Structure 1
């Protein structure tokens, strides 16, 4: 294990590139097709099933707690009913088939079997060696799954572990900051880097009244101004949340070391750039709307 110091945001940059490619499967037609073959057709049921399946046939409370920014009533409309249609182990297998197909489509056959992909998989898996299960339920559940044999799937799987490891820590930072699930989304969207409200309403179960109420709460705390823009205090709080998330997620990247983190970031950026260029994400996903 290396003790060399990382540049402060090196781990965050690496995670961003890894997570971006991981997230492409949520928007892929292949995922919808694979889950439809199991009888799961509602887009929200698909999302809840594929991300929660590693936890087993859990109820809506567990999903709401671990996903954090979804409205409980939306989750409860689909969970645990989805497990009566498709068992978690079948969902996990379908998810991996969808990832295989979507990565081949987005990246191309040559990239999937390239030396660069194999190198990225080795580096990302090495980073996961320093992840911790304590207090990280989504990471811990996915860490119990077997590592896929094919390099592009092993790379995606390692990205899943690193995503959920950082995500679980991020929830701890949000709780400490006193931001509930919707307030976390509103403050992130207000920075211009978060999800467009249109997509929040469509995917998270919240509506305009919920959003407006969250804005008022944040305004009362002095975190948003009258126009809904972040105040100095709001900017500082978001910066603190991200810095705390970085702190809680340092171990995997410190374990990997500066040179290997830089190399993994370079490889991941290439894969993600190719996927984005191939239309992996909706054009209006990010922004204030």
Structure 2
């Protein structure tokens, strides 16, 4: 039986691992890798990076799996981005960028350390217990070969776990009756919201009018106040969403066990601190309304 301790421990571990994954979207190495293919637009790069493991998918698949982007924004870049960089090239470029960035941030000695190897082994053990059904981004990443180098194996596992939780979060959002815009607006309005969370409102392709219409729908449901903050009912809904996501994401942490999860959290939090100190990702990068980090 899943315990509240496992659920809370899993969420804390996933938060630490998030930093090990999400830095890859912000490094100069990833920008250079994709620029070499002629992909210089930030949205096009992000869609290719994250969707590459799924193969040559169209805009519809990206919109469905990424959830909070306006379809017209996605369609502006997908599938045309595959004419510049193939999905296979995008996956390889992403891995090369992660390798170079982690070596720059941590140093060659650190990436070859026993602690990195231990963290990779624990994270892979957790990730192997994920559920593929209804989680296409997790399933696609799980189909990729595990890199030989421990620091890249750790990044691979962190990516799998990130997409696993994200898939569960989308199911929770659907169950709560929140569409893409409502999910973004309610996320930015909540206590977990921040300047970076509010930035999501400006980078997902929705107009000011569409965002306001989403806010109006939330107000009609009694979830948002006139000044744009969550009502008690709205705050309760957001808490319920996170708890539902925890339950749907329990499998990897049950499989790893309490001791393994605690040890992985300890190792991942040390890495996350070093990555943040090196400017590897935005400080306090929040989890987006699709269960992923802002990127």
Length-normalised TM-score, structure 1: 0.94
**How far is the alpha carbon of 1:226 from its aligned partner?**
1.1
For residues 214 and 23 of structure 1, the distance between their equivalents in structure 2, rounded to whole angstroms, comes to 28
Is 1:169 equivalent to 2:168 in the alignment? yes
Query: 1:170 and 1:102, CA in 2 relative to 1: closer, same or farther beyond 3 A?
Result: same
1:236 aligns with 2:236: yes
Task: List runs of 5+ in structure 2 lacking aligned partners.
Answer: 288-295
CA contact (8 A) 1:64 1:70 kept: yes
Structure 1 moving runs of 4+ over 4 Å: 3-6, 283-287
Count of aligned pairs between the two proteins: 285
1:282 deviation in Å?
Answer: 3.5
CA distance in 2, matches of 1:27, 1:210: 28
Q: Which range moves more in the overlay, 220-229 or 202-211?
A: 202-211
Give the structure 2 partner of residue 105 of structure 1: 104
Question: What RMSD in Å do the two structures reach over aligned CA positions?
Answer: 1.8
Query: Which stretch has the larger CA shift, 6-15 or 36-45?
Result: 6-15
> Are 2:62 and 1:48 aligned?
no
Give the drift of 1:284.
8.5
Instruction: Note closer, same or farther for the CA distance 1:192–1:280 as it changes in structure 2 (3 Å cut).
Output: farther
- Find the residue that maps to 2:147 and give its secondary structure: coil
What does 1:158-237 align with in structure 2 at a 5 Å threshold?
Answer: 158-194=157-193, 196=196, 199-237=199-237
Give yes or no for contact 1:192–1:286 (8 Å, CA) kept in 2.
Answer: no
Contact kept in structure 1, 2:2 and 2:250, CA below 8 Å? no
Match of 1:12 in 2: 11
Q: Distance in 2 between matches of 1:107 and 1:202?
A: 32
TM-score (norm 2): 0.92
Q: CA deviation at 1:245?
A: 0.6
**Partner deviation per Cα, 1:30-61 (whole Å, 9 max, x = no partner):** 10100111121111000000100111111111
Question: Gaps spanning 5+ residues in structure 1: where?
Answer: none
* 8 Å Cα contact 1:4/1:258 also seen in 2: no
Give the aligned partner of residue 58 of structure 1. 57
Q: 1:283: Cα distance to partner?
A: 5.0
